Amino acid sequence: MIAGKPVHIFQCNVNWKKLWLPTMVAIVLLGVNGESVVKAAPPVSTLEQNLWISGIRQDVNLIQSTHTAILANTGPVTTAGEKTKVHVPTGVSIIGDSVTLGTRDYLGQHVANSTIDAEGDRTMNLADQVLIAQQRNHRLRQDVVICIGTNALDGYRVQIMKLIDALVPGHRLIFMTPYNAQTQSDWNSSKLAVFEWTLPAKYKYVTIADWEKVAGQHPAVFAGTDGVHFGGVHAGDVLYAQVINQALKVARTKPCK
């Protein structure tokens, strides 16, 4: 029909002259409907946009690091009986949840020689899996920062101990206490922070980064937010990075595992 040739539908001759008006009406109606759908759609918040962009950039970094790991594993194979010394990369590996994901770009620029693996709704058992996978691929760096706890499960003590046991020698471990402006003392996240503070006395290679305390002293950072995330608030980015860097200074005065 577009080419000007005759078209037959149900034994009826159809041509553009008969269809142009219904077609234009349909296009106008679709346009009006599309505009109303767009206007009715909820706006994307700054936090959602920040998390979305950070997630995409992290995926790109993961592809790049995986490519590097694959190339590294194509080297000479060790013969039976030979012992190889596992090299622990210098620098910082940060494993976090959605709070960390929201400030990922800033952290990457202000925590020297760091890699960041963050994901929304991540719990301690999932962080344990990330740590083990990075160790297996020889990508876990000397200083390991665990920014997990907002989504604390009932078995948080067991999961933390599993993570500590899974950590191979040659690393230092930094636990960042979680913060939630609405939290109560009987919440798992609060009890997890209390438990984390008992660890440095038992394990000399463990340090605490007290985000819970520092964040509580700066409520303006969370104005207009859910009291947990500050993605897109520059003052929050600065504070978060400062807490990690200060903890790293303390950790580096301690021995590795």
Count of residues making up the chain: 257
Q: What is the pLDDT of residue 78?
A: 43
Tokens of 15: 């041509």
CB 211 within 8 A of CB 174: no
Q: What is the pLDDT of residue 84?
A: 46
Q: At what angle do helices 156-166 and 188-196 cross, to 10 degrees?
A: 40
* β partners of residue 206: 173
Collect the ranges in the chain with pLDDT lower than 50: 44, 67-84
Q: What is the pLDDT of residue 21?
A: 73
Query: Which among 178, 155, 195, 174 has a CA at the least distance from the CA of 99?
Result: 178
Q: What is the pLDDT of residue 17?
A: 66
Helical residues (DSSP H) of 111-233, grouped into ranges: 124-136, 156-166, 188-196, 199-202, 211-216
Residue type, 193: A
pLDDT digits (tens, 9 = 90+) for 103-134: 999 999 999 999 999 998 899 999 999 999 99
Query: Which among 140, 141, 150, 233 has a CA at the least distance from the CA of 187?
Result: 150
Distances 43 to 40, 117, 189 between C-alpha atoms, Å: 9, 27, 30
- Mean pLDDT, the chain, rounded, equals 83
Q: What is the pLDDT of residue 39?
A: 62
Q: What is the pLDDT of residue 8?
A: 73
How far does CA 241 lie from the centroid of its chain?
Answer: 15
Domains of the chain: 90-253 (3.40.50.1110)
pLDDT digits (tens, 9 = 90+) for 211-220: 999 999 999 9
